[in-house]
Amino acid sequence: MSDTIKITINGIECEGAKGETILSIATRNGIEIPNLCHNEEVKVYGACSLCVVEGEGMPKLMRACATIPQDGWKVSSETPRAKQSRKIALELLMCDHEGDCKGPCSLECPAGTDCQAYVKQIALGNDKEAVRIIKEKLPLPASIGRVCPHPCETKCRRQHVEEPISIAFLKYFAADNDLKSGDTFRPEVAAPTGKTVGIIGGGPAGLTAAYFLAVKGHKVTVFDAMPKMGGMLRYGIPEYRLPKAVLDREIAEIEALGVELKNDYRIGRDISYADFKAQFDATLIAIGAWTSSGVGCPGEKDTEGVFGGIDFLRAVSLGNRPEIGDSVVIVGGGNTAMDACRTAVRVGAKNVYVVYRRTEAEMPAEQVEIDEAREEGVEFKFLRNPAEIISENGHVAKVKLQVMELGEPDASGRRAPVPVEDEFETIEVSSVIAAIGQKVNPAGFEGVELNKKGIIAADEATFRTSEEGVFAVGDATNKGAGIAIAAIGEANKAAGVIDSYLNGEIIPYKAPFVSKREAEDIDFTIYDKRSRIRMPQLSPEERKTNFKEVNLGFDEKEAREEAKRCLECGCWDYDDCRLIKAANSCDICPSRLKGEKHSRFVEQKLVSIERDQGKCILCGLCVRVCDEVVGKGLLDFVGRGFGTVIKPEFNSPEMIAVCKDCHKCAEMCPTGALKIIG
């Protein structure tokens, strides 16, 4: 009589031993059935209810970890009924789970960079490892670290102690060290796939997509209409913020992965769009938004001395400095307006005004940019809006400004500026620079569907355009112009989708589920106050006469100390957490389930192990391994219902010593509830 049986699991015929469970047979045959409470070292417990399977012709679902099958059974963990049961079990677990899978800094980053992880590596002095972590999401850390408006820092919980961590500047510190090392980090490139991708646009989005697609083994060529690659990073960001030598080094690192770069190449001029896309297995459009929006007031058109903000910055970057005269008005309140006004100072304007229709509090520009512009002599005129540009002999002579006041909030949530009747101010100027927005120029891309705003329409999950095999990302799509890090984030996601398309099955991007805590639920008084380290800078007197980089960079000591301020909010065990992996295997919505929560506190009574009760799912693995494997029984369930927790009980110094050297419970924990600290 045979000691083996044959069963079918998820459509795969498997051989197992008599008396062996379904889960054990599945595992040996390379079939993954989600589970949290099972481990071969301890007895079957069946607490998590994730490993349920449905048997053909059987009325009830079965726990794979506890069910011994008979020869010929056909079971599946992927039937609608089994998946629904698993989904509910996960929702019940996650609705009572309290913890930050990722730090709020990482969640706020449009590119999803693991800020906490790379900041920790910088604190430890491991700059190359920090760059490796950063480049999992973005390939231009030295450049982006200098220019990013760092939304990550707006969510940094260190601000509840005193000030947020200087996350962006730490990024460029580590990246600069890597570039100077002579042994820069480069990811391993997969074997050639034989697939080709043509990318139109060599800005941050196009370069990012090229990087990640090249790493996947695809042959990538980037085409750009400008003389050099970099897009807005080169032609829209002034040299004093981003030295182009730094950008050149980072682009060279992308090229070293096998990416081919072709400049001075324009669709519609050098090749038709139809002929271009026919050359490649996939095409990505990342052309950006290069057309400046106008002010929209009388006298703007056909008047010499009126420039678009991006046009002005691009001309200066190319070495073609426009004649702007002594007195300049910059219209707008964003970072482009700040770049334009500070550049105007550097090219010799004596009187530089920024006109903004709201107050300083509503300006979208970074406060540091506003402050530095003011230090360099820029004058701000708030609650003003151009009503007319007055010319003499066809050239700008004056600007008539409408006095404004704030009314009710508009669609953006900010109070809308409204004109004050019959109140105006007129100033004499020699030029006007409109830095109030940018538009897409889709000329040459006939056939690609545009939305109502004249922007390329792309699916937000697949980045596909209306044409087969053509994708689009960045400022040229959907919402229009945004910050570089957002375009980079989109491009990384799109690269993953394009890779799946080239492999024969398009897989849409889906944001992962994560557990989050609210800042108001955290006691920040336990942390010592340590002020943010200020970035060393050139003095206003020195910097406003040239385009030298304003920021001087952190030194070794400053960077390490600043990085050590991190509170490490995200879960230390995120990458290995079986709970979050299971939660992302199906579409769960824990918020729909509300009820009493079990006790949440952190204790260190286990001497060398920290226990976070908010992350504990009461699977019992720690209790069972301490009793069944170690033979000590130091842990047990305390309480009933949602009040149940797991606690240690020490009876003697000998038991404490055993716990200190064992760590078996922490090693088996499927979540980050147990952390070895000693």
Convert 597-622 into a string of H (helix), E (strand) and C (coil).
Answer: CCCCCEECCCCCEEEECCCCCCCCHH
Comparing C-alpha atoms, which of 166, 185, 211, 187 is closest to residue 127?
185
Q: What angle do CA 20, 25, 29 make, to 5 degrees?
A: 155
What number is the average pLDDT over the span 37-64?
A: 92
> Beta-carbon neighbour count of residue 631 at 10 Å?
8
- For the cut 60, the answer to whether the pLDDT of residue 1 exceeds it is no
Residues 360 and 338: their CA atoms lie apart, in Å, by: 13
pLDDT attached to residue 678: 67
- For the cut 60, the answer to whether the pLDDT of residue 211 exceeds it is yes
Within 8 A by CB and 6+ apart from 633, the residues are 626, 627
- For the cut 80, the answer to whether the pLDDT of residue 656 exceeds it is no
What number is the average pLDDT over the span 518-530?
A: 90
Q: pLDDT digit string (tens) for 572-627?
A: 999 999 999 999 988 899 988 877 776 677 876 567 888 898 899 999 999 999 99
pLDDT attached to residue 345: 97
Residues 208 and 139: their CA atoms lie apart, in Å, by: 6
Q: pLDDT digit string (tens) for 100-149?
A: 999 999 999 999 999 999 999 999 999 999 999 999 999 999 999 999 99
Residues 573 and 311: their CA atoms lie apart, in Å, by: 48
**Strand, coil or helix: 328:** strand
Burial class of residue 447 in the structure, from the number of CB atoms within 10 Å of its CB (0-12 exposed, 13-18 middle, 19+ buried):
exposed
Report the Cα 402 to chain-centroid distance in Å.
40
Residues 312 and 299: their CA atoms lie apart, in Å, by: 19
Predicted structure pTM score: 0.92
Within 8 A by CB and 6+ apart from 466, the residues are 447, 448, 449, 457
Mean residue pLDDT across the chain: 93
pLDDT attached to residue 363: 93
| Tokens found for residue 57 | 């012709």
pLDDT attached to residue 410: 80
> Beta-carbon neighbour count of residue 153 at 10 Å?
22
Residues 52 and 64: their CA atoms lie apart, in Å, by: 6
- For the cut 70, the answer to whether the pLDDT of residue 650 exceeds it is no
| Tokens found for residue 517 | 């805590």
Residues 430 and 511: their CA atoms lie apart, in Å, by: 50
Interhelix angle 115-123/556-563, nearest 10 degrees: 130
- For the cut 60, the answer to whether the pLDDT of residue 179 exceeds it is yes
**Strand, coil or helix: 403:** strand
Q: pLDDT digit string (tens) for 366-396?
A: 999 999 999 999 999 999 999 999 999 999 9
Interhelix angle 167-180/115-123, nearest 10 degrees: 60
**Strand, coil or helix: 324:** coil
In the chain, count H helices and then E strands: 22, 25
The sign of the dihedral angle between the CA atoms of 17, 21, 22, 23 is: negative
Q: What domains, with CATH codes, occur in the chain?
A: 4-95 (3.10.20.740), 299-310+320-433 (3.50.50.60), 597-676 (3.30.70.20)
Alpha helices in 306-451 (DSSP H): 309-317, 335-346, 367-375
Q: pLDDT digit string (tens) for 402-447?
A: 999 999 888 777 788 999 999 999 999 999 999 998 999 988 998 8
Q: pLDDT digit string (tens) for 460-474?
A: 999 999 999 999 999
pLDDT attached to residue 651: 59
pLDDT attached to residue 230: 97
Are 218 and 199 a contacting pair, CB within 8 Å? no
Share of the chain above pLDDT 70, in %: 98
Are 604 and 677 a contacting pair, CB within 8 Å? yes
Higher pLDDT, 519 or 225: 225
What number is the average pLDDT over the span 337-358?
A: 97
Comparing C-alpha atoms, which of 288, 252, 251 is closest to residue 476?
288
What residues pair up with 372 in beta bridges, in sequence order? none
pLDDT attached to residue 453: 86
**Do β-strands 219-223 and 196-200 pair in parallel, antiparallel, or remain unpaired?**
parallel
| Tokens found for residue 664 | 């078996």
End-to-end CA distance of the chain: 53
pLDDT attached to residue 135: 98
pLDDT attached to residue 413: 79
Q: pLDDT digit string (tens) for 180-189?
A: 999 999 999 9
Residues 322 and 433: their CA atoms lie apart, in Å, by: 11
Residues 214 and 157: their CA atoms lie apart, in Å, by: 36
